[in-house]
Amino acid sequence: MIRKVLAAAFVFVTANAWAQGATPAPLSKVTVSNEVAKRTLMKMQINADTAKAIADSCVEFSKTSTPPQSISIFILGPTGDIVHAHVMDGVLPIGVETGLLKAKTALYARSSSSAVAQRFNNVDGRLIRLDLGKASGLAYYFVGGGLPIVVDDQLIGAVGVGGGNADEMCAYTAMTRVLGPQPPLPPPPAGRGRGGQSARVSLRALRPLR
């Protein structure tokens, strides 16, 4: 009996070691099974278990923040379909909408939404891009909190977090815990956080011109 328990424990640890943040997750563990791929004709898509693990980790990050945050989180597949979504109690409707928009931005631009905001950092540059991608269900949203999900140089989805004041760090920390080491985030512009209040203030300035 003891031998069986130890063997089961070993299997459990081995199966979950890739999800502890220190070791890169193998592509086969985080994408859909071969059986699913045969039915959908798509292999390089984040699977539901991995998407939920990222969301759960981000929720844990938000609950243990000081002060605790209420966030929405969306994980999209490569085609823009929602694989998993979670909205914590207390998130305002705008926080739900922006979480989805950030995920769409990361998927559309193949880049973090904060990098998109830094690249197009003036009113004219943003105005001509506000409607891009909408015909295909994607969008540009110039606030941090959206990250592409890349494993073994393959885009398997995107994550977007809205409603908090550390949205990008929430997504980044969750992806690191579940998928392993991630590329370093670009430093935020002086005086701006990663998807927080100051970033929203800069975006509000554009709204009268839209």
Least Cα distance to 199 among 93, 126, 137 occurs for 126
Distance CA 63, CA 66 (A): 8
Q: Which token pair is 128?
A: 């001509």
Please say if the pLDDT value at position 115 is more than 70: yes
Domain ranges of the chain: 46-209
Q: Which CATH number fits domain 46-209: 3.30.450.150, 1.10.10.10, 3.40.50.2000, 3.40.47.10?
A: 3.30.450.150
What are the percentages of helix, strand and coil residues in the chain, rounded to 5? Answer: 50, 15, 40
Query: Whole-model pTM?
Result: 0.79
Residue 16 has a pLDDT of: 43
**Angle of helix 167-179 versus helix 48-63 axis, rounded to 10:** 130
pLDDT, one tens digit per residue, over 119-128 is 888 777 787 7
DSSP assignment of 145-209: -EEEEEETTEEEEEEEEESSSSHHHHHHHHHHHHH---PPPPPPPTT--SSSHHHHHHHHTTGGG
SS3 118: helix
Distance CA 134, CA 3 (A): 57
Distance CA 60, CA 74 (A): 15
Q: How confident is the model at residue 105 (pLDDT cuts 50, 70, 90)?
A: very high
Q: How confident is the model at residue 24 (pLDDT cuts 50, 70, 90)?
A: very high
Least Cα distance to 160 among 116, 103, 114, 108 occurs for 103
Average pLDDT over residues 30-34: 98
Q: Which token pair is 43?
A: 């292999």
Distance CA 60, CA 174 (A): 9
Q: How confident is the model at residue 21 (pLDDT cuts 50, 70, 90)?
A: low
pLDDT, one tens digit per residue, over 34-77 is 999 999 999 999 999 999 999 999 999 999 999 999 999 999 99
Distance CA 134, CA 200 (A): 21
